[in-house]
Amino acid sequence: MISIGRLCVKTAGRDAGKTCVVVDVISDKFVLVDGQVRRKRCNIKHLEPLKKTIDIKKEASHEEIVKEFKKLKIEIKAKRPKKKVEKVKEAVKVEKPAEKIEKKKIIKKKPAKEPKATK
Amino acid sequence: MPEPSKRSRRFRRVMKKTPGGVTRLMYKKRRPKQAHCAACGKVLPGTPRERAKKLHRISKTSKRPKRPFGGMLCSKCMRTEIIKKARK
């Protein structure tokens, strides 16, 4: 029943209820799916096969599948391109003046506070 | 004796450690019922059981599973619903 080009509906996970195509059969349990869902390995138990099939090659690209889905009038939302984030170089650390370090040492020498008086 | 309104079991009682280091009895409002599946009535896992004031603070993704009918139906009932539609 499940072979390359078979249309299916996903029945588990966040992509449940969306249609997809079997692109590759990995083993007797798992297949590679693509379409409205993310291109992913998927368990056969999580698929509900439909009657229709599509003519595609083994491991067809996502763009080919989008073209085939357009013929069946199934919309696929295009992914938004990720924004490039420019990494800011870390500023060079400035060495602290020697005076400040001396002050800290003086603070440590102060006697500790007396314990609180019990009620 | 506590004040008359707190003598009934309207409030739940919680022992809490105060900043002073003493454990005291606190009176808090009772929590609402846990969310249930609309089809089979099972308790839905992954849904918090808090008052609206605290739910307001929690993010949306931590309040229900991210799938169709998440927080309304359990995973089994959702699956049967989708398979019914696909086989029509």
ipTM, 2 dp: 0.73
Q: Of B44, B77, B88, which Cα lies nearest the Cα of A12?
A: B77
Q: Which residue has the higher pLDDT, B68 or A78?
A: B68
| Partner-chain contact B78 A13, CB within 8 Å | no
B24 in the same domain as B54: no
Best B84, B87, B88 member to test A by mutation, with max A CBs in 10 Å, is B87
Give the pair of three-digit tokens for residue B18: 């105060």
A53 is a domain residue: yes
Q: Which structural domain range is residue B74 located in?
A: 33-88
Least confident of A12-21, A69-78, A103-112: A103-112
A17 is a domain residue: yes
A107 is a domain residue: no
A112 is a domain residue: no
Is the alpha carbon torsion for A65, A66, A71, A72 positive or negative? positive
B46 in the same domain as B4: no
Q: Which structural domain range is residue A24 located in?
A: 6-71
Residues 6 or more apart in contact with residue A83 via CB below 8 angstroms = none
- Alpha carbons A47 and A28: distance in angstroms, whole number: 14
A106 is a domain residue: no
A44 is a domain residue: yes
Search chain B and give the residue with CA nearest A19: B86
B58 in the same domain as B23: no
At residue A44, the 3 state secondary structure works out as: helix
pLDDT in tens, B23-81: 999 999 999 999 999 999 999 999 999 999 999 999 999 999 999 999 999 999 999 99
Into how many domains does chain A fold? 1
Confidence band, pLDDT 50/70/90 cuts, at residue A16 = very high
Give the pair of three-digit tokens for residue B1: 């004796």
B40 in the same domain as B17: no
pLDDT at A105 over 80: no
Into how many domains does chain B fold? 2
Supply the CATH number for residue A47's domain.
Answer: 2.30.30.30
A116 is a domain residue: no
pLDDT in tens, A26-53: 999 999 999 999 999 999 999 999 999 9
B76 in the same domain as B37: yes
Chain B residue numbers touching A9 (CB-CB < 8 A): 82-83, 85-86
